[in-house]
Amino acid sequence: MWSFEQEQKLANITVNVRMTAIKLEDGSLWIHNPIAPTSECNVLLRELGLPVKYIVLGSAQYEHKIFVAPFARRWPDAKVYTVPQQWSWPLDLPSPFYGIFSSGDLKDADTTAPWSAEIEQQLFNPKDRLGFGYSACECAFFHKRSKTLICTDALVYVPEEPPAVLDKTELRDLGKTADNFILDLVALVNWRGSGETVRQAMQDESSGPQPTENALVRKGWQRNALLSLYFGPDGKSLVDPSKAFQAIAGKWIVGPVCYSLVYGGRLREEVKDWSERLCRWDVQQILPGHFAGPIGGGRSDIRRAFEVLEENVEATAEPEFALPWPFPQPVRYPSEDLKLLTDISGVLRSFNEIARLQSARASRRQQRARDERQTIGLVGYTNVGKSAIVNRLTKADLLVQDGVFVTLDISSRHCVLPSGRECHVLDTVGLIQGLPIDICEALQATIQELHQADIIMHVRNIAHPAREEQAELVREVLSDSGVDMERVIEVWNKADMVPQKEVRHLHYLRQQKDSTPIYVVSAMTGGSRLLYFMYCSYSGVINLRVGWRPRLSKALARQVAQSGWCTAMFLACQESGSEILLSMHMVVRTKRMQVRAAWYLDMALP
C-alpha cells in the first residue's frame, strides 16, 4: 500500500490531499481519491510497474473529485466507481460534466464489488441533503491485509509538525503577524471583536525581537491548521494559536468544519450509526484524506473521535455554513488538464452568478405577486431606448448609453400613476440577431419575466434604418417563446430623431396593414404619453383630446367596444380651440384586461 500527497492552496491556506494505492492479489492497483496526474505523480506510479485497474472516488467533495477525469485519462483501461449523490454548487451538475464516467456507484457493505475479497466498504449515504443541496456522502474502506481504515474527511489526525509536502516558505509567511494578509483582514473587519488585539500584536512583533525561522514555520503551521479546520477562528487564537492548536493536535478527531457542516446537524443519528459500523472492523491504523497518515488507531480511537456526537450540542435543522471557492491552486498540471480545469472553473463561476441572479429574480417575482400590482414589461431590440423609457416613467436612474447590451440583467421599478395607483415596470435585456435564446441565460430570464407580465410594450427605434428587421426579430422571439401576442403594445421610440411628416407616413402605412394602435413617443424630449394612457385604463372615464371631427367620436367608441376587451359608450364632446375633448365611459370585463383597453385611445399628457 502506497500513499501519494500533493499540496493544495486556497486563499493563503494550504492543505495536503492524499491518494492511496493498494496492490490487489491479481497484481493490479486499486486507487482511492486520485490526485492531479502531474508528471511527477505519473513517474512514481509507473515505477511501481502495476496497471491501474480501479479508480475509486470515496467522496463528493470538489478537492477529490476534480482530479478523477484527468487521472482516468492517464489510465484509460481503469474502471471508475464513485459514491452516489455526487454534488456541485451552485448548480448540481452531473458527473459527466466533470469528465467522470462511472462504471457504477459504491454501495454499502457491497460483497459483489470486484475488490470485496480484499477491501470491504461501509457507505455513509444520508437520506436528506443539507442546505444548497450539499451532499455529505462518504465511503470508508477497510484493507483486510494491513487492517487499515481508509477514509476521506470523516477523521483527521493533526500532527505537531507540518506534512513534508507543504511549502515551508508559505508557512513561514503565514507565521508572521505583521505583513500577514489574513490577520490584516481580521483587523480590518474587527472579526469577532479581535481587531485591536491583532493590531497590538502586529506592533509588538515589529518593535520586538524577530522570531526564528523554525518558530515562524511552526506558528504558520498552527495557524494553517486552525484556518483549515474551523470556520473563521477568532483573531486572538490566530495571534497566539498554540493553545487552540494543542486542543486538536496529536489525536484522532472529527474535523470541526466537518462537524459544523454535516455531523452536528440533522444527520447526527445517521453518522452515529455509520461510526458504529466502522468499529466492526479490526482496525489497527487509519489513513485519512488529509493531514497525517497512516497513523495507528483502532476502535477506541474511532469511538472517542465520534463522542462529539453525544455531547449536549443543539442540532440545527440547517447547519450554517458558507462554501468557499472549491478549486485548489496545484503546482503543476499537464497542459491539456490545465485547460480542462480552467474551463470548468470559468463555467462554475458563471453558474454561481447565474444562480444568484435566478434566486433574486424569483424573489422579486414573488414579491410582485404578493402586492397584486399590474406589471408592464418592456421588450425590444438592443439599443432602442427601453431603459430611457423606464427612467421617464419611474424617475429611475438606469444606465442609458448608445450601445448594445447596456442592460445586462432585468430590473424592476415602481411607476406611480396620476391616480396614485402603482404598477411595476420591467426593463429587460435587449434582443439581437443571431444570438440563440436557449443558451443565453439573461435572455431566457427576459422571456420568463414577459410570460408573467400583464402588459408587454414592444419598444422600437423608429429612427433606425433596419427598424422593420429588428421588429420582426422581436416578434418572432416572442411568438416562438409562447408569449401571448394579444398582450403586446407597440411603442415607437426616438420620434424626435425623425421628421414628423415621415413618422405620420410610417404610421399610415402600418395602419393599412394592422389597425392595432401604435404609440409614438420620445423618451428623451418628454413626449411620452404612456403614463397617462396607463392611468386612464384604471379610471373608467376617458378624457381624450384629439384633432378629429366630432362625427368620428362614435366610430372610436364602436372600435373600442369591438375589441372585445371592454365596452365603451360615447358621453360627450366639447370643442377646445382646435381640439375636441371626448368623454367616454369604459367598463372593463376583467381586471387583467384593464390596461389593454386603452390601446385604442391616443391620449396626451395634461
pLDDT, tens only, 151-172: 999 999 999 999 999 989 989 9
535 versus 295: the higher-pLDDT residue is: 295
Q: Examine the pLDDT at 273 and tell me if it is beyond 60.
A: yes
**H/E segment holding residue 412:** strand 411-416
Q: For 367-406, how does the pLDDT look when each residue is reduced to its tens digit (9 = 90+)? A: 555 456 777 888 888 888 888 888 877 776 655 554 444 4
**Angle at alpha carbon of residue 379, lines to 603 and 426, rounded to 5°:** 80
509 in a domain, yes or no?
yes
User: Are the C-beta atoms of residues 550 and 576 closer than 8 Å to each other?
Assistant: no
Domain boundary among 310, 340, 355: 310
C-alpha cell belonging to residue 467: 427598424
- Based on its alpha-carbon atoms, the radius of gyration of the chain, rounded to whole angstroms, reads 34
Both 392 and 521 in one domain: the answer is yes
Cα→Cα distances 202→167, 173, 178, 213, Å: 24, 14, 5, 17
Query: Which of 48, 26, 38, 98 shows the shortest CA–CA distance to 74?
Result: 38
Per cent of the chain over pLDDT 70 is 67
Q: Which of 123-137, 290-304, 555-569 has the highest mean pLDDT?
A: 290-304
Both 491 and 575 in one domain: the answer is no
Both 120 and 181 in one domain: the answer is no
40 versus 91: the higher-pLDDT residue is: 40
334 in a domain, yes or no?
no
Both 471 and 594 in one domain: the answer is no
Both 544 and 560 in one domain: the answer is yes
User: Are the C-beta atoms of residues 377 and 466 closer than 8 Å to each other?
Assistant: no
- Beta bridge mates, 543: 583
Of the listed ranges 104-113, 271-280, 396-405, 420-429, the least confidently predicted one is 396-405
Of the listed ranges 108-122, 349-363, 454-468, 477-491, the least confidently predicted one is 349-363
533 in a domain, yes or no?
no
pTM above 0.75, yes or no: no
Count of Cβ atoms closer than 10 Å to residue 125 Cβ: 18
Both 192 and 274 in one domain: the answer is no
Report the pLDDT averaged over residues 574-582.
Answer: 46
List CB contacts of 207: < 8 A, sequence separation 6 or more. Answer: none
Query: Which of 15, 10, 105, 11 shows the shortest CA–CA distance to 289?
Result: 15
Domain boundary among 283, 310, 337: 310
- Beta bridge mates, 286: 149, 295
**pLDDT bucket at 113, cuts 50 / 70 / 90:** very high
Q: Which of 25-29, 186-190, 208-212 has the highest mean pLDDT?
A: 25-29
**pLDDT bucket at 44, cuts 50 / 70 / 90:** very high
The distance of Cα 336 from the centroid of its chain, to the nearest Å, equals 27
Contacts 24+ apart (CB under 8 A), 396-404: 398/427, 404/430, 404/432
Both 32 and 92 in one domain: the answer is yes
C-alpha cell belonging to residue 601: 385611445
- Beta bridge mates, 56: 32, 81
**pLDDT bucket at 551, cuts 50 / 70 / 90:** very low
Number of domains composing the chain? 4
Q: Examine the pLDDT at 302 and tell me if it is beyond 60.
A: yes
Residue range of the domain that includes 389: 372-528
315 in a domain, yes or no?
no
Q: Examine the pLDDT at 465 and tell me if it is beyond 70.
A: yes
Question: Strand locations in 527-578, DSSP E?
Answer: 541-546, 566-576
Cα→Cα distances 19→2, 51, 148, 229, Å: 8, 16, 14, 20
CA–CA gap between residue 266 and residue 317 (Å, rounded): 6
- CATH code: domain of residue 7: 3.60.15.10
**pLDDT bucket at 524, cuts 50 / 70 / 90:** confident
CA–CA gap between residue 350 and residue 347 (Å, rounded): 5
Report the pLDDT averaged over residues 53-65.
Answer: 91
Q: Is the dihedral of CA 71, 74, 80, 85 positive or negative?
A: positive
Both 302 and 422 in one domain: the answer is no
327 in a domain, yes or no?
no
φ/ψ region of 46 (left if φ > 0, alpha if ψ in -120 to 50, else beta) reads alpha
Of the listed ranges 76-90, 360-374, 440-454, the least confidently predicted one is 360-374
CA–CA gap between residue 353 and residue 363 (Å, rounded): 16
pLDDT of 216 reads 92
138 in a domain, yes or no?
yes
Per cent of the chain over pLDDT 90 is 27
- CATH code: domain of residue 390: 3.40.50.300
| Ordered strands of the 119-124 beta sheet | 119-124, 138-143, 148-150, 285-287, 295-296
**pLDDT bucket at 595, cuts 50 / 70 / 90:** very low
Cα→Cα distances 50→24, 79, 142, 147, Å: 10, 15, 21, 22
List CB contacts of 241: < 8 A, sequence separation 6 or more. Answer: 219, 222, 223, 225, 226
Query: Which of 100, 96, 98, 116 shows the shortest CA–CA distance to 108?
Result: 116
CA–CA gap between residue 81 and residue 100 (Å, rounded): 9
Q: Examine the pLDDT at 589 and tell me if it is beyond 50.
A: no
- Beta bridge mates, 605: none
pLDDT of 27 reads 96
Q: Examine the pLDDT at 572 and tell me if it is beyond 60.
A: no
Domain boundary among 483, 503, 528: 528
442 in a domain, yes or no?
yes
User: What would the 3-class secondary structure string for 36-76 be?
Assistant: CCCHHHHHHHHHCCCCEEEEEECECCHHHHCCHHHHHHHCC
Both 384 and 474 in one domain: the answer is yes
208 in a domain, yes or no?
yes
User: Are the C-beta atoms of residues 34 and 44 closer than 8 Å to each other?
Assistant: no
CA–CA gap between residue 76 and residue 448 (Å, rounded): 43
Q: Examine the pLDDT at 579 and tell me if it is beyond 60.
A: no
List CB contacts of 17: < 8 A, sequence separation 6 or more. Answer: 5, 6, 7, 8, 33, 35, 63, 64, 289, 290, 328
CA–CA gap between residue 522 and residue 384 (Å, rounded): 11
C-alpha cell belonging to residue 600: 385604442
Q: Which of 3-12, 344-353, 429-438, 444-453 has the highest mean pLDDT?
A: 3-12
**H/E segment holding residue 427:** strand 422-427
C-alpha cell belonging to residue 294: 497512516
Both 570 and 523 in one domain: the answer is no
Pairing of strands 138-143, 79-82: unpaired
Q: Examine the pLDDT at 293 and tell me if it is beyond 70.
A: yes
Both 134 and 182 in one domain: the answer is no
Fill in the amino acid letter for 437: I
Both 222 and 88 in one domain: the answer is no
- SS3 (DSSP) at 1: coil
Q: Examine the pLDDT at 26 and tell me if it is beyond 90.
A: yes
